[in-house]
Amino acid sequence: MGLADDGGLLVPEFIPDVSAELDAWQGYSYSQLALEVMSRFIDDIPRPALQQIIDRSYGTFSVPAVTPIVPLGQDYVLELFHGPTLAFKDIALQFLGNVFEYILDERGHSVNILGATSGDTGSAAIAGVRGKSNINIYIMFPEGKTSPLQELQMTSILDDNVHNIGIHGSFDDCQALMKGIFSDLDFKTEHNLAAVNSVNWTRVLAQVVYYFSAWYQLGCPARFDVCVPTGNFGNIFAGYIAREMGLPIRHLILATNANDILCRFFNTGRYERREVNFTHSPAMDIQISSNFERYLFYKLGGDTEQVKEFMASFAATGSAELSEKTQPIDAVIKAGSASNAVTLATIEQVYRTEGYLLDPHTAVGLSVMQVFREDGVPLVLLATAHPAKFEDVIREALPEVHAVHPTLEALRELPTRKTILDLAEDSIKAFIVRGV
């Protein structure tokens, strides 16, 4: 299940404290670590079966460490792009695809997955479920607003169970369509809808693991900071959960592009929607962040009525504010934003000085985290995608550099398939009915 039946988001009944077990997990492989972290939240899949699902999910990655950490100047980069589609979304969606398959086989059911993407979620979700029995997947994306290679990663998959839908609008429009359709409980039930976006709790849970992996790879420091480029708040919310579980994260540094609704909230307490800016970091071109609602639940002490009031105000007026503001809003989360010009300058500077090529989203993160760096505290930047996925941006920053990856180059001559539909729930519903 993605959205709950009342339209809200699901959270775990409690967050387990694993601080007493951290020493015992040293030396574990990524899959072993994933089993320990995930099993604290999973009681309906037997441990041996869960281990098999995890092993199968991360056996598709190109490096044994799955999420290796590499030094970059005085800081560190956690590379999250070694999966099948070269983006951090693979870490959650390879796992989620195998979980769906396991549960559907066990229950004899089928599902129609409906998702929205600003770039990487779509291709990673498709890679996670393509060709799987009892699963159809429908991915909506803003037509012309993803990078050409991101679109190719989706539309070149011609499996019968894969359906790509271009929508004239923004990612927020696609996400609103998805939420509207899931809110139609009769349609959701009749057509067995399921979600792969980060509204699905399993997505967040799988991402919690690599925060633990980063800490162990750093050598288990007493504390460390993590900078997270984010648009939908899922990636950084996973770090928030890891910290609540006992991982010694001191600060989570939230980095956004010109779509800075999250940055403004954490600096002012006001959550206010503005027009979507289309930038060099398209996966972050978001003005309504799904997982923010989960954070708000914990920020407000689990008071669901306050959460409802806040989200209702935002839905009605495009703005909502905490009634009791403190400065800072959250002592754990620091926030900043970066423009296109700063993003390009960061890509160029890091390549010239360090010989390391950043994708534009990771460059947003690096430019923001430099403001919050403190001596003596290890600082880790999450690298969310391989730079070759954004060849046009790389070429603008570094005209002499041609960012390539063989997986992506192989896509260029492949046939593609997509359907362009109106920005209307009825159009999407009718397409799903025909596809069934």
Region 265-291: what's the mean pLDDT? 91
Region 218-234: what's the mean pLDDT? 96
Q: Is the pLDDT of residue 290 over 90?
A: no
Task: For the full predicted model, state whether its pTM sits above 0.95.
Answer: no
Counting every residue, how long is the chain?
Answer: 436
pLDDT of residue 95: 96
Q: Is the pLDDT of residue 161 over 90?
A: yes
Region 73-83: what's the mean pLDDT? 97
Q: Is the pLDDT of residue 107 over 80?
A: yes
pLDDT of residue 1: 75
Every domain range in the chain assigned CATH 3.40.50.1100: 19-62+86-200+413-435, 69-84+208-406
pLDDT of residue 2: 79
Distance CA 221, CA 422 (A): 52
Contacts of 59 (CB under 8 A, 6+ apart): none
Region 148-167: what's the mean pLDDT? 95
Q: Is 179 a catalytic residue?
A: no
Contacts of 396 (CB under 8 A, 6+ apart): 280, 344
Least confident piece of the model among 89-93, 287-291, 304-308, 363-367: 287-291
A 10 A CB-CB count for 44 gives 7
Region 412-424: what's the mean pLDDT? 95
Q: What is the mean pLDDT of the chain?
A: 94
Q: Is the pLDDT of residue 94 over 90?
A: yes
Least confident piece of the model among 12-16, 147-151, 316-320: 147-151
pLDDT band at residue 436 using 50, 70 and 90 as cut-offs: low
CATH code for residues 19-62+86-200+413-435: 3.40.50.1100
Distance CA 78, CA 242 (A): 16
> E strands of 222-314, at which residues?
224-229, 249-256, 270-272
Question: Which pLDDT tens digit goes with each residue over 311-325?
Answer: 999 999 999 999 777
Region 33-41: what's the mean pLDDT? 98
Calculate ∠ Cα 344-345-351, nearest 5°: 95
Region 337-361: what's the mean pLDDT? 97
Residue 288, both tokens: 């309504």
A 10 A CB-CB count for 283 gives 30
Q: What share of the chain is helix, strand, coil (3-state, %, to 5)?
A: 45, 15, 40
Residue 371, both tokens: 């403001």
Q: Is the pLDDT of residue 86 over 70?
A: yes
Q: Which of 89, 179, 188, 389 is catalytic?
A: 89
Q: Is the pLDDT of residue 127 over 90?
A: yes
Quote the distance between the C-alpha of residue 271 and its chain's center: 20
Region 217-231: what's the mean pLDDT? 97
Quote the distance between the C-alpha of residue 247 and its chain's center: 20
> E strands of 120-174, at which residues?
135-142, 162-167
CATH code for residues 69-84+208-406: 3.40.50.1100
DSSP state of 436: -
Distance CA 171, CA 276 (A): 9
Q: Is the pLDDT of residue 44 over 60?
A: yes
